[in-house]
Amino acid sequence: MDDVKYGEILLPGDEETQERREKNVRRKFWPTFRKAARRVPFSRDLVAAYYCALDRETPLKVRGTLLAALAYFVLPVDMVPDLLVGIGFSDDIAVLSAAFAMVNRNIRPSHYEAADKALEDASDAVKPEDMKTV
């Protein structure tokens, strides 16, 4: 994917677009994250970005950019199907990395604290026998 595609994907969108993306992200983030967690090298940053995107104190443009990246992450169909082992989440990782580079100074310690708690709770909830399918 080139920079033009990133630019198209990461457009913050208008208020209506952001609201639609937020609903989609809230509904699909955790199920998608559970499938991808072992393949995403920056899971903590991803979850912190999720909390940053949902934080009403985050600037609107930053929220929009993060919601766009997270909406791409939760899409059932994207440029590289997520079911392809080894490369399926590579395009999602590229889009998320670009978004982080654009807005990382807006992800606050409180977002990371929320991410740490969510990741700890998630790891407590996953039984070892379930790890093969996560």
Place 89 in a pLDDT band, splitting at 50, 70 and 90.
low
Are the C-beta atoms of 62 and 103 separated by less than 8 Å? Answer: yes
For the four alpha carbons of 14, 17, 23 and 26, in that order, the dihedral sign comes to negative
Q: Which segment of 14-18, 50-54, 56-60, 87-91 scores lowest on mean pLDDT?
A: 87-91
Q: What is the pLDDT of residue 38?
A: 77
Place 96 in a pLDDT band, splitting at 50, 70 and 90.
confident
